[in-house]
Copies of this chain bind each other. A is one copy, B any other.
């Protein structure tokens, strides 16, 4: 395997686990059995490495996501919110074929991107992959047209938060569930439980504020 890919493979696991700030290049390169300077040689800087790690996932995910959402947008029938969210799930779970534990790793990385590094990664994603956001918004609007654009903006970010945060601590939560309820879940199991939650949240009745 190429040095570049060895670095990427080691980096995304460590980044997901300990955050971008919390992971040093020396940890990454020693995990990857690669010289320290290789990161700067192949990627230029740590910041560029972070972008490369995210891009590898987004480039895999974003076309599938767009086509799945396009299918919903072009259909005549009005979709349910659950359908819209499940359009997300399938491409997300396919990341497990792309890379071992790809789904949870990617979602954890997404969570890190929101809180670490003061949002430069959110900027990177929204500018590099804007279609994902607009298509998702369109699909939700079709499923729940009464919802104002602003209210939808908030509820989608709440949803983003729920998913991303859940995945960031999914390992700990799965451990607790195993101990307390003797119920062994995997990532797909957690997703199964979070979908009804977020769907109901987005579908919540409209309240009027003063």
Binding site for B on A (CB under 8 A): 17-19, 21-22, 111-112, 114-116, 118-119, 122, 149-151, 153-155, 157-158, 160-162, 164-166, 168-169, 172-173, 176-177, 180-181, 183, 189-190, 192-194, 196-205, 207, 209
Contacting residue for A115 out of B19, B154, B194, B198, CB 8 A: B19
Of A17, A19, A161, which is in contact with the most chain B CB atoms at under 10 Å from its CB? A161
Q: Which residue of B lies closest to A207 (CB)?
A: B196
Contacting residue for A162 out of B17, B22, B119, B162, CB 8 A: B162
Contacting residue for A161 out of B166, B180, B204, CB 8 A: B166
CB-defined contacts of A153 to chain B, threshold 8 Å: 176-177, 180-181
Question: Lowest 3 A-B CB distances belong to which pairs?
Answer: A161-B165, A200-B204, A201-B201
Copies in the complex: 2
Given contacts A201-B201, A204-B197, contact A116 B161 (CB under 8 A): no
- Dominant secondary structure at the A interface: helix
Of A181, A192, A203, A204, which is in contact with the most chain B CB atoms at under 10 Å from its CB? A204
CB-defined contacts of A198 to chain B, threshold 8 Å: 158, 201
Asked whether A158 lies within 8 Å of B162 as measured between CB atoms, the reply is yes
Asked whether B149 lies within 8 Å of A181 as measured between CB atoms, the reply is yes
Given contacts A21-B19, A161-B161, A180-B153, contact A168 B115 (CB under 8 A): yes
A196 to B173, CA, bound (A): 24
Of A114, A151, A158, A173, which is in contact with the most chain B CB atoms at under 10 Å from its CB? A158
A197 to B81, CA, bound (A): 14
CB-defined contacts of A165 to chain B, threshold 8 Å: 111, 114-115, 160-162, 164-165
What is the distance, in angstroms, from A143's C-beta to the closest C-beta of chain B?
Answer: 15
What is the distance, in angstroms, from A146's C-beta to the closest C-beta of chain B?
Answer: 14
Q: Which residue of B lies closest to A192 (CB)?
A: B209
Given contacts A158-B162, A183-B150, contact A169 B22 (CB under 8 A): no
| Interface contacts beyond A164-B165, A192-B207: sample of 12 additional A-B pairs, CB < 8 Å, sorted by A | A19-B116, A150-B183, A151-B193, A153-B176, A154-B197, A155-B193, A157-B166, A158-B162, A158-B197, A161-B169, A189-B209, A199-B204
